[in-house]
Amino acid sequence: MANIDEIAKLAGVSVSTVSRVLNHHPYVSESKRAAVQRVIDEMDYTPNRSAVDLIRKETRSIGVILPFNNNQAFDQLLHGVLSRSVELDYSVMVLPTRYDAEKELKYLNMLKNKRLDGIIITSRSNTWDAIVPYTKYGTIVTCELTDRPEIGCAYVDRYASYVDTFQLLKDKGHSLVAFTIARGEESNSTQLTIKAYQQVFGDIPEEYLVRDCYSMDDGLRAAQELLHLKVRPTAVYANGDEVAAGIYQYARSLQLRIPEDLALIGQENQPVGMGLHLSTVDHQLAKVGEKAFDLVIKNSRGKVEIPYHILVRQSIND
Amino acid sequence: MANIDEIAKLAGVSVSTVSRVLNHHPYVSESKRAAVQRVIDEMDYTPNRSAVDLIRKETRSIGVILPFNNNQAFDQLLHGVLSRSVELDYSVMVLPTRYDAEKELKYLNMLKNKRLDGIIITSRSNTWDAIVPYTKYGTIVTCELTDRPEIGCAYVDRYASYVDTFQLLKDKGHSLVAFTIARGEESNSTQLTIKAYQQVFGDIPEEYLVRDCYSMDDGLRAAQELLHLKVRPTAVYANGDEVAAGIYQYARSLQLRIPEDLALIGQENQPVGMGLHLSTVDHQLAKVGEKAFDLVIKNSRGKVEIPYHILVRQSIND
DNA sequence: ATGAAAGCGCTAACAC
DNA sequence: GTGTTAGCGCTTTCAT
């Protein structure tokens, strides 16, 4: 591929002039601009991006740190990020950690070596103490609330959301309420779910907490565990609509009526829940992703709260 | 951030020596290597990636072109790509087109401006004639079979797969077979599904073909259309397990028995189908993604076929 | 084994 | 308006 020097030579101008037309600067005579453009077209020339990034000290690329890409929730966040990035002509790298703290730091290092202008952390494995130093090299935005002033946040008040949901169930007359979670206790949202439960109902009966739930299949397993207990829960709060759908399915196979025999509520308002009339808590993850993107490219440390919505559908009794 | 000159100066060596230790070259005395390393650590130095890419003329980054990221099938492909990329220390950019041909070309241009070493096309909007010229600038691998010699392919023989599946249904005694598709007729797999159907059953009754199916919700809609027909199909081939699950759900709500009253088979072996004992055709999309990645970084134009598996579970009669 | 120096392809300050 | 030139931060001959 030709370079800018060659274009300049062929057009009979200096490289600065070529650079100017490339970057749509004013103060270029129409005749020269046209001449340069013609040569550019003829030679099928495109500026080398590494050279531009090197001198501009920015890449118009951002990264998204997530544990897995094949997960509904992270996929929604990513979707939000991508929507905005396409509009604003940014590129996005997907940085999957599998909850490996080492790898996470390696990704953060892409700010330092100027490969990325910013990074969105959708879920982290490191402590903030380990992460914050990297803000020196680029913008870091996270999808949970932290009071670290160096970190931008696009977040949902999960604790309030969980409390609200459990309270709703309680208000509907349920005292035997089970719930499902994804990872074990080290995860942020898991911790908050547990705290919220305790806040509303007090102690958690060990058998009312089902771990490692991600898919509909896990929902079936969870229901299998829960619905054969001597003291069967009368309501379940699932950590996702897929999981809720699995529970629904299993309950129906047992001839249980929803919501009369079992009330059910999921999360994230996924299509899977719509036709089943499952209630759900929509944390608006795509919107969180969009907002996180906006923060990161504005180099903002703002804390932006995204509202959640509890959608009560037929799977909850009146 | 410090640069390589500064490190050289502080370590009392030349920049070449610093570069050598950075790149683990031989022929550096242990004493100097140690001295340089110490300064690097002290200064917390990391080489600028744009400068390295510029001179090396490669980025160790690849792109994945897909229409949407929030879609099970593309997500599986992406998952395969990411698995391998993490192992081999490559970065991957997600390039969502929404089937916009212009945008697709813009993405392909990232090969030309040396931002990406290669691109994986999981689904395309342009003709091969428009795409092939970009192979001059980087490797292009696709997830469908094309005989263009410049393009590497990691693909499943979809036509054979679809014919096999329809034939299986026919062998089980079904002559009233409906099916669902995603996009309209311009999509490659849709076209092949239609051709396969005609090959096995002849003409397609218009009402046995349901379009725009992506999620479980769409499956419910499809079932609603199909199961109230005067001549109800006795089997449905869904273009995904989520869609199949929706159909299952609706059929059950009508008290139809699966498979006695309605045989059902989906695609992609998703968790949603497992607990429902839905039969499925596993096109091994994650494996396709992995293989596509391997081709692209080997700069290979190979054509690699990935086998598909028909998993017969309870949703099909004997 | 080590260093000097020539780029890689581009932008922008400065001079005219 | 336009050109000259000094970098940006690095790798890699080519000497020594």
Instruction: Provide the CATH number for the domain around residue A33.
Output: 1.10.260.40
Residue finishing a domain among A14, A39, A56: A56
* Claim to verify: residue B173 and residue B228 sit in the same structural domain: yes
| Locus of tokens 């086998």 | B307
Domain assignment present for A312: no
Residue finishing a domain among A39, A56, A73: A56
* Claim to verify: residue B266 and residue B163 sit in the same structural domain: yes
The tens digit of pLDDT for each residue in A62-106 reads 999 999 988 889 999 999 999 999 999 999 999 999 999 999 999
Overall average pLDDT of the A171-191 stretch: 90
- For the cut 90, the answer to whether the pLDDT of residue B127 exceeds it is yes
Answer whether A78 sits within 8 Å of B86, measured CB to CB: no
Overall average pLDDT of the B180-187 stretch: 82
* Claim to verify: residue B233 and residue B262 sit in the same structural domain: yes
Domain assignment present for A315: no
Select from B180, B259, B254, B258 the least CA-distant residue to B216.
Answer: B180
* Claim to verify: residue A43 and residue A89 sit in the same structural domain: no
Mean pLDDT over all residues of chain A?
A: 95
State phi, psi for A310 to the nearest 5 degrees. -90, 120
* Claim to verify: residue B276 and residue B162 sit in the same structural domain: yes
The predicted pLDDT at position B26 comes to: 87
Domain assignment present for B182: yes
The predicted pLDDT at position A45 comes to: 96
The predicted pLDDT at position B189 comes to: 87
The tens digit of pLDDT for each residue in B232-247 reads 999 999 999 999 999 9
DSSP, residue by residue, B245-311: HHHHHHHHHTT--TTTT-EEEEES--HHHHTTT-EEEE--HHHHHHHHHHHHHTT---EEEPP-EEE
Number of structural domains, chain A? Answer: 3
Answer whether B79 sits within 8 Å of A61, measured CB to CB: no
The predicted pLDDT at position A78 comes to: 98
The tens digit of pLDDT for each residue in A255-264 reads 999 999 999 9
Residue B155 bridge partners (DSSP): B305
- For the cut 90, the answer to whether the pLDDT of residue B263 exceeds it is yes
The predicted pLDDT at position B183 comes to: 81
The predicted pLDDT at position A187 comes to: 79
* Claim to verify: residue A176 and residue A275 sit in the same structural domain: yes
Select from A204, A266, A213 the least CA-distant residue to A233.
Answer: A204
- pTM (2 d.p.): 0.95
Overall average pLDDT of the A148-169 stretch: 98
Q: How many CA atoms lie within 13 A of B176 on its CB side?
A: 11
Distances (CA, A) of A103 to A108, A124, A146, A298, B173: 9, 11, 22, 26, 53
Share of chain B above pLDDT 90, in %: 93
User: Which residue of chain B comes nearest to A68, CA vs CA?
Assistant: B79
The tens digit of pLDDT for each residue in A228-251 reads 999 999 999 999 999 999 999 999
Domain assignment present for B295: yes
Answer whether A249 sits within 8 Å of B276, measured CB to CB: yes
| Locus of tokens 């498979």 | B259
DSSP single-letter state for residue B27:
-
* Claim to verify: residue A268 and residue A301 sit in the same structural domain: no
* Claim to verify: residue A149 and residue A291 sit in the same structural domain: yes
State phi, psi for A12 to the nearest 5 degrees. 70, 35
The tens digit of pLDDT for each residue in A50-71 reads 999 999 999 999 999 999 988 8
- For the cut 90, the answer to whether the pLDDT of residue B203 exceeds it is yes
Domain assignment present for B167: yes
Overall average pLDDT of the B88-113 stretch: 97
Domain assignment present for B237: yes
- For the cut 80, the answer to whether the pLDDT of residue A16 exceeds it is yes
| Locus of tokens 């349920």 | A174
Residue window 160-219, chain A: list those with CB within 8 Å of chain B: 214-219
Q: Which residues of B touch A53 (CB under 8 A)?
A: 50
Residue A306 bridge partners (DSSP): A156
Domain assignment present for A293: yes
Overall average pLDDT of the A300-308 stretch: 97
The tens digit of pLDDT for each residue in A21-47 reads 999 998 899 999 999 999 999 999 999
Domain assignment present for B312: no
Specify the CATH number for the domain of residue A72: 3.40.50.2300
* Claim to verify: residue B188 and residue B122 sit in the same structural domain: no
DSSP single-letter state for residue B69:
S
Strand C: protein residues, Cβ closer than 7 A: A 1, 3-5, 15-16, 19, 22-23, 46-48, 51-52, 54-56; B 12-17, 20, 26-29, 31-33, 51, 54-55
* Claim to verify: residue A93 and residue A16 sit in the same structural domain: no
* Claim to verify: residue A170 and residue A218 sit in the same structural domain: yes
Share of chain A above pLDDT 70, in %: 100
Range of the domain at B33: 4-56
How close does chain B come to A159, measured CA to CA in Å? 27
Overall average pLDDT of the B25-52 stretch: 94
* Claim to verify: residue B207 and residue B259 sit in the same structural domain: yes
Residue finishing a domain among B39, B56, B73: B56
Q: Is residue A137 less than 8 Å (CB to CB) from chain B?
A: yes
- For the cut 90, the answer to whether the pLDDT of residue A136 exceeds it is yes
- For the cut 80, the answer to whether the pLDDT of residue A186 exceeds it is no
The predicted pLDDT at position B228 comes to: 96
Nucleotide of closest approach to B14 (CA, C1'):
C3
For the CA of A154 and the C1' of D4, the distance in angstroms is 48
